[in-house]
A and B are shown apart, each in its own frame.
Chain A
Amino acid sequence: MSIANEIQSLRQLIDRFAESGSAGAADLVRQMRGLAEHPDGKAITELVAVCQATAASIETLLGSEQLGDAMEVVEKHLKEVLAYAEAWGASLDGQGDPVTKPAPEPLAVDHAGDDQHYAETVGMFVSNALTAVSDIEEELLSVETAGDALEDTVSSIRRTVHTLKAEFGVLNMLPPQKLCHQAETTIDAVVEHGAAFPVDLMLQFGDQIKQYLERLAADVHAQFGDAEPMLKQFSEIEAAAKDTPADGDEPVDLGVGGDFADSLPDFISEARSHLADAEVAIVELSRDSGNGENLNLTFRAFHTIKGVAGFLNLSSVVELAHVAETLLDGARSGRFNFVAEDIDVVLAAGDMITQMIGAMEGGPAPTMGEWRKLISDIKERSDAERSAAPSPEAEAPATAAAPATPAASDKAVSPAPAATDKAEGEQAKKPEVIVPKKAVAPKKKKAETQAARVERTIKVSTTRLDMLVDMVGELVIAQSMVAQDPTIQNLESQALARNIGQVGKITRDLQEAAMSLRMVTVKATFQKMARLVRDVAGKSGKKVNLALAGEDTELDRNVVEQISDPLVHMIRNAIDHGIESPDARLDAGKDAEGELTLSAYHQGGSIVIEIRDDGRGLDRNKVFEKAVTKGLIPEGTSQSSLSDMEIFNMIFLPGFSTAEKVTDLSGRGVGMDVVRRNIEALRGKIEIESTLGEGTTFRLRLPLTLAIIDGMIVRVGKSRYVVPTLSIEQSFRPSTDDVHYVVDRGECVHVRGAVLPIYRLKEVFDQQDGCTELGDGILIVVEVDGQRSCLFVDEIVGQQQVVIKSLGMSRDRITGLSGGAIMTDGRVALIVDVGTLVESILTV
């Protein structure tokens, strides 16, 4: 039967069906099925589908005997089918346009003016799509120049491709839709598996889409074939990406190098200080989540790092900083509360950036796997559907929204405006979140003053600084040489004397100022400890509140750098061993939250750093028993003869550990002796004070600076030596009655009931000249590691502060000497290192 006849009979059957209802239904269904199966009709998929669907629904209606109700609907559908069929039949007869494109929505009733409308839609689509494609191209090129695909760019490309796909789909252009779909899945696979972004293929893809669009613009009814080779290429890349073993163990490519490598050191030190600030702020946030200034500060830190890193093309840093920033921005703008999990991921981001910065200086880089995981973790946090609690605290951070950071945003132009837009878009989508704008002005002012303060510091290399200090020291000596010159002193000119005095005063001021240049506050170090306390307390399941005091106390930069490790040990110990678990604390009638105080202050020319906990305190008996069982003290020592101080000091003995169980935090019995060694290397001392059940206090007594020591100038023959006052207990002229010669032990002297060995400096240092009679010289009692001994010298010349200088053979010290000092006459005096000196005598 020809198709025209088929349609003719279909019309008759429909008419009959309309009149008689179910009676004609069976025939109608048969006819429609036949039409659907007709060899010519298959070309028009829509007609076939409609026929089949109508037939099926009529059958269902027949079965369910609800025909009457549904009759109208079915009739309408049938008319639709008929209209199609007739149009089709007419076209086959060569009387109309060839039907290449059935209406996209076959069941839409009104088709009047459809073609006109369709052409308009397509035209609009084409122009939009062309813009989209050129956007993609631009982004692809940026990916290529950056050498690495930024996640923002990639996701933007992916979004555009996805939109194109949907639009082609709406217009029912299957081949382009298929191509877009394939491109999209390939991008997903590439991103997921961290494979290289297929820039070339994507550019070809863009060209192909453009070609489609141009043809479409020329003819809205243009028909497309599949771009087979390209589909194949895409699926190959997709497969390859999926096969790529996840490069999770590969170190992150830092992207160091390029045109701005010179700026890297600046970036590194800047980023470090930003991260340190941020860390402090974050840790503080964990205590007071409503503090908007802290959130802002953290945000600014990440923002600035992102900006500078972007400038230096450090894409992996940029990306990490960016996601952290987005999360912080969300919290800051009040979209959600900043909770403990957020703090964790932001801290982790800070840590990873620190590690990456370390890697730029040769440290180990984090792996791609870690990096990617962290990024997705952070994203998860910021994408999570969360709402701001309506508490007043929650509003506080929001008050300092975007306008509060003019300094930060001026400094760094965000490399990812798209993402910011997105964030704003998200914000706009959630109108229920109220962002109070009050109090913006004062915050802004604060941020500005902060920026101004930062600008007033400059970075100076430490070598230059040391050089300045050296030169000033030299000036002081030269000045005093001039002032004490006999020729000048014999001149009886008051004006000259006054001027020389003036020069002397200025010189001393200058020296003081130069010295102060090297002083830094302990703030940064203390704040690092805040982070540590949080981590350690979390791990050990204890509640600890850290109070800081005297953070502005200044110390020599070198000292500050070197107390960090001992402090870490001691704070770990305090939390792990000192502070009890919350339950135990409550049982003991204390607050569940332990109190840890870290303070710094001046005391008698030295700096004291105090670590005080209100934990269980040191148990005198336990410590003693432990020391005995571990064989750390000689057998038969009676406990009662020892002072608390002496017993507590046993915890510094190597191999001592009071913790019953060894945790991964501390308690291997190596901590405290390392602490003591480190502190002593800084010429400092540790004191312990402890009351059982009430807590323990560790006091680190440190010199103000490593560069200067208080020294006793002693003379042996023609040479002068400097003995650090810190190690001197007393000095006296021995009477011959007190001096004995002990077999195997050498000379000894009775000092207040103790017998101390005598070391003659002259002999120790192989000097030819100097006193040989003990009665003619002076004995200096020195104490090192609890061991006392006497140094014999000719005389004590005086006491003064000296600047320690290396002896010029820097790599290793000469045993018994810690350096040299330049005396006021310009000559060099050697500084005695009592510790190694005594040690070397004992080992020989």
Chain B
Amino acid sequence: MNNTLENAPVVDATFGGGKFLSFQLSKEEYGIAILKVREIIGTVDITSLPRTPDYVLGVVNLRGRIIPVIDLRRKFGLEPKEFTNETCIVVVDCGEEGDSSFRVGCIVDSVSEVLTISNEHFEEAPRCANSSGAYIDGLAKLKDRVLILLDIDKVIGDIDPASLTAGAE
């Protein structure tokens, strides 16, 4: 059942719509497929992790499980910002089901709401040759705003261990 939702954004032409969690990052509003989202927690003590790229803030204890936390601001080349009361960690499950899946926390400025985005609102991402463009599934044009739909697998796939060690050197 979650197949359609997980896979749909990858194949743009057949975007089937679905529910997205929208969140704020700097001035922009982003969306992540809701089925990828595990939970949303407030900021907690983060143990910084040496020898990792700067956008990996460290690790936190999520009820006995240690998960890495990345700062989406830094990841997207935005100006880092002090944590506020609204700052949240969106915990997402990435990758395939099974062994290779892993859970990652993403720091966002604030979370807004869960939106249902249908096919008619969907538009492919403009093909500007920006490196971070690869993380974007497309755009959702709503009444008065535009939502950037993230392919969180690709965003997180980037912090795969291989690139983590590469980033350290």
A470 interface neighbour in B64, B164, B168, Cβ under 8 Å: B64
B52 interface neighbour in A767, A814, A820, Cβ under 8 Å: A814
Query: A453 at the A/B interface (Cβ < 8 Å)?
Result: no
Taken together as a complex, chains A and B put the C-alpha atoms of A473 and B102 apart, in Å, by 20
A764, A820, A822: residue with the most chain B Cβ atoms closer than 10 Å: A820
Contact A470 B49 (CB under 8 A): no
Since A808-B65, A808-B104, A815-B51 are in contact, a sample of 9 more A-B pairs with Cβ atoms closer than 8 Å, ordered by chain A residue number, is A471-B63, A471-B64, A474-B63, A812-B165, A813-B161, A815-B165, A815-B168, A816-B50, A826-B61
Contact B61 A827 (CB under 8 A): yes
Residues of B within 8 A of A817 (CB): 49-51
Taken together as a complex, chains A and B put the C-alpha atoms of A432 and B64 apart, in Å, by 70
Main secondary structure of the interface of B (DSSP, over half): mixed
Contact B159 A814 (CB under 8 A): no
Query: A100 at the A/B interface (Cβ < 8 Å)?
Result: no
Determine the interface band of chain A, counting residues with CB < 8 A from chain B: 20 to 34
Contact B66 A816 (CB under 8 A): no
Taken together as a complex, chains A and B put the C-alpha atoms of A827 and B48 apart, in Å, by 11
Query: B14 at the A/B interface (Cβ < 8 Å)?
Result: no
Binding site for B on A (CB under 8 A): 470-471, 473-474, 477, 719, 764-767, 805-817, 819-820, 822, 826-830
Query: B103 at the A/B interface (Cβ < 8 Å)?
Result: yes
Taken together as a complex, chains A and B put the C-alpha atoms of A767 and B68 apart, in Å, by 18
Taken together as a complex, chains A and B put the C-alpha atoms of A708 and B59 apart, in Å, by 19
Contact B164 A809 (CB under 8 A): yes
Taken together as a complex, chains A and B put the C-alpha atoms of A225 and B101 apart, in Å, by 73
Nearest A residue to B100 by beta-carbon distance?
A811
Query: B134 at the A/B interface (Cβ < 8 Å)?
Result: no
Query: B146 at the A/B interface (Cβ < 8 Å)?
Result: no
Contact B64 A812 (CB under 8 A): no
Query: B67 at the A/B interface (Cβ < 8 Å)?
Result: yes
Residues of A within 8 A of B140 (CB): none
Within 8 A of A (CB), among B108-161: 159-161
Residues of A within 8 A of B47 (CB): 719, 820, 827-830
Contact A473 B64 (CB under 8 A): yes
Taken together as a complex, chains A and B put the C-alpha atoms of A807 and B63 apart, in Å, by 14
Q: How many positions in chain B have a CB within 8 Å of any CB in the partner chain?
A: 28
B49, B52, B63: residue with the most chain A Cβ atoms closer than 10 Å: B49
Interface 0/1 of B27-63, CB less than 8 Å to A: 0000000000000000001011111100000111101
Contact B59 A828 (CB under 8 A): yes
B160 interface neighbour in A477, A811, A816, A829, Cβ under 8 Å: A811
Nearest Cβ on chain A to B67's Cβ, whole angstroms? 4
Nearest Cβ on chain A to B74's Cβ, whole angstroms? 16
Nearest B residue to A819 by beta-carbon distance?
B66
Contact A812 B104 (CB under 8 A): no
Residues of A within 8 A of B67 (CB): 808
Taken together as a complex, chains A and B put the C-alpha atoms of A822 and B65 apart, in Å, by 9
Nearest A residue to B161 by beta-carbon distance?
A812
Query: B162 at the A/B interface (Cβ < 8 Å)?
Result: yes
Nearest Cβ on chain A to B53's Cβ, whole angstroms? 11
Contact B161 A766 (CB under 8 A): no
Nearest B residue to A840 by beta-carbon distance?
B51
Taken together as a complex, chains A and B put the C-alpha atoms of A764 and B168 apart, in Å, by 12
Binding site for A on B (CB under 8 A): 45, 47-52, 58-61, 63-68, 100, 102-104, 159-162, 164-165, 168
Taken together as a complex, chains A and B put the C-alpha atoms of A814 and B165 apart, in Å, by 7
Nearest B residue to A804 by beta-carbon distance?
B66
Contact B51 A765 (CB under 8 A): yes
Residues of A within 8 A of B63 (CB): 471, 474
Nearest Cβ on chain B to A801's Cβ, whole angstroms? 16
Nearest A residue to B63 by beta-carbon distance?
A474
A474, A719, A809, A820: residue with the most chain B Cβ atoms closer than 10 Å: A809
Contact B51 A805 (CB under 8 A): no
Residues of A within 8 A of B49 (CB): 807, 814, 817, 830
Contact A828 B60 (CB under 8 A): yes
What 3 pairs across the A-B complex have the smallest Cβ distances?
A812-B161, A765-B50, A474-B64
Contact B50 A767 (CB under 8 A): yes
Residues of A within 8 A of B168 (CB): 814-815
Residues of B within 8 A of A812 (CB): 161-162, 164-165
Taken together as a complex, chains A and B put the C-alpha atoms of A290 and B165 apart, in Å, by 61
A-B contact pairs, 11 of them (CB 8 A): A470-B65, A471-B63, A766-B51, A807-B66, A808-B68, A812-B164, A815-B51, A816-B51, A817-B49, A827-B45, A828-B60
Check A814/B51 contact, CB under 8 A, given A808-B103, A827-B61.
Answer: yes
Taken together as a complex, chains A and B put the C-alpha atoms of A819 and B159 apart, in Å, by 17
Residues of B within 8 A of A830 (CB): 47, 49-50, 59
Nearest Cβ on chain A to B79's Cβ, whole angstroms? 20
Nearest B residue to A473 by beta-carbon distance?
B64
Taken together as a complex, chains A and B put the C-alpha atoms of A809 and B53 apart, in Å, by 13
Contact A809 B102 (CB under 8 A): yes
Nearest A residue to B50 by beta-carbon distance?
A765
Residues of A within 8 A of B59 (CB): 807-808, 820, 828, 830
B164 interface neighbour in A471, A814, A827, Cβ under 8 Å: A814
Residues of B within 8 A of A764 (CB): 50
Taken together as a complex, chains A and B put the C-alpha atoms of A211 and B1 apart, in Å, by 59
Nearest B residue to A825 by beta-carbon distance?
B45
Taken together as a complex, chains A and B put the C-alpha atoms of A765 and B52 apart, in Å, by 10
Nearest A residue to B101 by beta-carbon distance?
A810
Taken together as a complex, chains A and B put the C-alpha atoms of A820 and B159 apart, in Å, by 18
